[in-house]
Chain A
C-alpha cells in the first residue's frame, strides 16, 4: 500500500508531497526505533542543557522521518538540509573547541553536498518540469547525455558526502567522537543512510543502473570505502573514532549492494542498512555508557570492565559479533547475501574477505581492550550505568539477534516489497543453502590480523616504531589534510585580498573613475550591450 499526501500549507505554489511506500517504511521504522532508544537513553546520559537538547533531538527525528517519506526531490532536499543543520547543532552540543571544529567541518561538507544535490535538482526540474520521483523515469531521454551525466555526478556526489563514502568522508570520523554518544548513534545509524537512500531512490527512479559506468563507479567507491574504512578503524585508539571509521566501511557494503544492482544484492544492501542502523547504534550507545561511567575514551586507557559493567559488556559483545558477521547474529545474514551477489567477481570477493576480517579484528580490539584484561588503577570504582540506559541497549541487542534468527521473515515481509517497488527484475530472494562455516574464513583471518597487530604493536600509532618512521609520509596523502589545506589556502587568499581595505580614499576614487571610463568605453564599443556567453 502506498500513501501519498500533498502538504498544502507549506511552500504552496511549489508543492510538497509526502509518500509512504515500502522502501520509505524500512528507513522510517529504523528512524523511529533507534530514535525511541536514543530518547530513552538520553534521559540519564545528557545532563547539561537539556532544554536545548530535547527539542533539537525531537526536531531532528522529525526531519529525518520526513526526509525518508518525501515523494519529491524538493521536499527531500529541504528536509535533508534541515536535518543536516539540526545535526550540526547537536554535534556542537558540548561546546568544546573540538566539537566546534568537528561541527564546522561537518556543516561545510554537508552544505557542499546539499548544494550539489540542489543544483542537480534544479537541473532535473529544468529537464522534466517536475520534482517528483515518479517523473524521474524520463530523465534519461530528456536531453543531452553530457547534461544528464552531470546531473548524475552532482546528485551522487552530494549523497556520497552525506553517506561518508571515501574520499568524501572526512567529516565523519571527527563529528562522531565530538557529538554526544546518543547523537553519534543516530548519526551513524540513520543520518548517513540518507545519502544511500537518496542514491537508491534516484538511481532506481531514473533506471540508470543499467548504465555500466554508474554501476562500476559505485562499486569502485564502495570497495575503496570498505577496505580503507576497515584498515583505518583498526588503527584508531579513540573508541568512537574506531566506530566511525567502521561506519564508513559498512556504508561501503551497502553501496556495493546498490552498485551491483541485482535483486539479491539489493536485498543484502537493504538488510545491511537495517542491521547497521541497529548494531552500530547499539555499539555507540555502549561506547557512550563506557565513556559516561569511566570518563575515558581511549582504548589503551581502558580494560577489564567486564566485571564492573557486566550487562554493557554482554550487549557490546553481541553488537561486535553482529557487525563481524558471526552466524545467528544479524550481520551474518546481510553479509552473506551481499557476498553471494558478488560471487562472480573475484576481486570483489577478495575485498569482501579482507574487509570482513579487518572488521572482525577491529571489533576484537574494541571489545577486548575495553572489557577484558586487567582493570587499570583508576577504574576500580566504576559502576554499571543505570537501567534507563541499559534498556535501549538490551532492546537493540535483542533486535540484532532477532534479525539474525529469522531472515526469511524479514526478507519476505519487509525487504522484498521494497525491492519489488524499485527494481525492474522480479525474482524471489530466499535465504537458504547457506553454510554457516563460510563465515569462518574472515573470522580466522581477522583473529590472525588482531594477533599480529598486537604482537607488532601496529595498532597504536604512538607506540609502533614502524608508524613513527612512516607516519609523516602517510599523513601527507590523507584527503582530510588536502581539504584542510584547500580551505586554508582560500582563507589566505581572502586575507591577501583584504589589503584592499587599507587603500586610501584617493585610490578608491581612482577605481571609480577608471570604472566610469571603462563603462563608457565598453558601451561605446558594444552599443548593443554585452551578450550572454
Chain B
C-alpha cells in the first residue's frame, strides 16, 4: 500500500501519454473511456488509502528509495488526503461529463491536470511542488480554451498571471534554498527557526512572495482578474475543476507552508483574516451586479474563497475545521452549480441571467439542482454550506470578532440575493415561440449522474456533519494537534 501515492500520481501521467498517441489513430473515440478508466483507478486507490489515513496514519513513499533530504518524498497525510479526495471526485465527474462532447487531447490534458494536482498535495519537496504546480497550471491554461473566440484571450490572461505567480513562487523557493540548502519540508521546518534568528528579513521576503503568488492562484482580491474570465469562458467541466480544485490548490499550499513551516515566526493570522474579508466583500458585491451566469458563479467563488481564508485567519481549531469543511463543501456545491449552469447554457444557448426566463425551455433537473446548489451556498440549513458557515461564524464569535461573524452572515444574504435572482428567472414563465422550444437539445442521462452525485453529497454532508468532520479531523489535527 505504501506505493499507492506514486501510483495515484503516475498512472494518469502514463495514460495521458497513451491517450495523446491514441488520439492520432482511428481509435480516437475511446480516449475518453481510457481517461475515465485511469482516473477511476486513481480515485479508487485514493479511496483505498482512506481507512488508514483517517485512522491517523501517514503513508510515505520515497522515490527511487532515496531517503528524505536527498530524494523526493511523497507523503499522504490528513490534509493531502482530503484535497486528493476532492480532486479525484471532481476530475472523475468532469471526465464523465465530457465523455460525449470532447475527444482526444482534451482528456490527456485533464489527466495531466489530475496528476499535477495530486503531485502538489502529496509531495514533501518544495521544488517538486513547484514543478507539479507548473504542470497542472499549464494544462489548465490550455484547457480553458473553448470554441468561443473570447476564451483565447481569457486563457492568455490566465497564462500571464499564472506564470507571474509561479515565477514569484520559484523566486521564493530559490531564496529558501540559498538560505537552508534543502527543499525537503521536514528539514526546512527544522531549519527555518534557525535562519529566522539571523536573517528574519529574508524569511519575510519569501513569505511576501509566496503570499502574492498564492493570492493570484486562488483569486484573492487585487489579483483576481483571471478568475471571472477563465471560469466563465472555459468549457463546463473545466469551470468545475477550476473553481472546485485549482483555486483550492493555492489555499492548500498556503496551509501547508504557512501553518506547518513558518508557523513559529510570522503570525500572519490578522493579515489573512482581513485579506479574506476584503475578498469576500469584493466577490459578493461584484457577483451582485453580474449579468453573465457563469461570471456570477466565478465572483461567488471569490466570495467563498474569501470565507475559507477568514476561517484560516481566525487561527483557532474551530476556524480551521470550519474552513476545511467549507473548502470541501465549496468543491461539491460549486461543482454542482457549474454543472447545472453548463446544462442550462447548453440547452438554451443563452448565458445572460436576464434572458434565462423559460420554464419550458430549461429542463427541470438542472433548474432544480441550481436551486439546491444556491441554497447550499447561501447556507440554508439542511444542506452542507450551512454547517461550515456556522462553524466559521462560531469560531469568529469565540475569537471575539463579532463584526466578522456579522459580515459573513450579511454576505450570506447578499449571496441569497444574487442566486435567487437567477432562480427567479429560471422558474419564471416566459412566452416562447415554437422555434425556441425545438432548439432545446436533450441532455444525456450520464450528465445527470454527475450532478446527482454532487447534490447527494451536499445533502449527506449537510444532514450528517459528523461524517464531514470525521473526514477533516486528521487534517485539522495536523495543524492544531
The residues of A with any CB-CB pair to B shorter than 8 Å are 10-14, 77-79, 81-82, 85, 92, 95, 100, 103-104, 107-108, 111-112, 115, 118-119, 122-123, 125-126, 491, 493-495, 497-498, 500-501, 505, 508-509, 511-512, 514-516, 519-520, 522-524, 527-533
Contacts and interface: CB of A to CB of B under 8 A. Distances in A.
Contacts of B412: 111, 115
B298 to A, nearest CB: 11
A505 B226 CA distance: 10
Contact of A505 (B160, B387, B427): B160
Interface in B233-273: 266-271, 273
Nearest to A111: B413
A104 B420 contact: yes
B328 to A, nearest CB: 16
A125 B216 CA distance: 37
Contacts of A519: 208, 211-212
A494 B418 CA distance: 12
B397 A126 contact: yes
B21 interface: no
A108 B416 contact: yes
Interface of B: 157, 160-161, 164, 168, 200-201, 204-205, 207-209, 211-212, 215-216, 222-223, 225, 228, 266-271, 273-274, 285-286, 288-289, 359, 375, 378, 380-382, 386-387, 390, 393-394, 397-402, 405-406, 409-410, 412-413, 416-417, 420-421, 424, 427-429, 463-466, 469
Contact of A512 (B212, B288, B405, B413): B212
By Cβ-Cβ distance, the 6 closest A-B pairs, closest first, are: A529-B267, A530-B270, A115-B409, A12-B466, A78-B381, A523-B204
A498 B418 CA distance: 15
A494 B413 CA distance: 15
B392 to A, nearest CB: 10
Contact of A118 (B222, B393, B402): B393
B266 A529 contact: yes
Contacts of B417: 104, 108
A79 B382 CA distance: 9
Given A512-B212, A520-B204, A523-B266, A125 B394 contact: yes
Nearest to B416: A111
A11 B399 CA distance: 24
A524 B203 CA distance: 10
B453 to A, nearest CB: 22
Contacts of A531: 267, 270
Given A108-B417, A516-B208, A82 B289 contact: no
Nearest to A492: B289
A494 B424 contact: no
B200 A527 contact: yes
A514 B380 CA distance: 39
Nearest to B274: A530
B208 A523 contact: yes
Contacts of A515: 212, 215, 222-223
Contacts of A528: 266-267
A503 to B, nearest CB: 8
A532 B399 contact: yes
A512 B216 contact: yes
Nearest to B153: A505
A155 B268 CA distance: 34
A123 B161 CA distance: 42
Contacts of A82: 380-382
Contact of B424 (A79, A100, A511, A522): A100
Nearest to A122: B397
B424 A119 contact: no
B427 A527 contact: no
A12 B168 CA distance: 45
A495 B288 CA distance: 9
Contacts of A509: 164
Nearest to A511: B222
A92 B416 CA distance: 15
A107 B424 contact: no
Nearest to A516: B212
Given A515-B223, A532-B269, A81 B289 contact: no
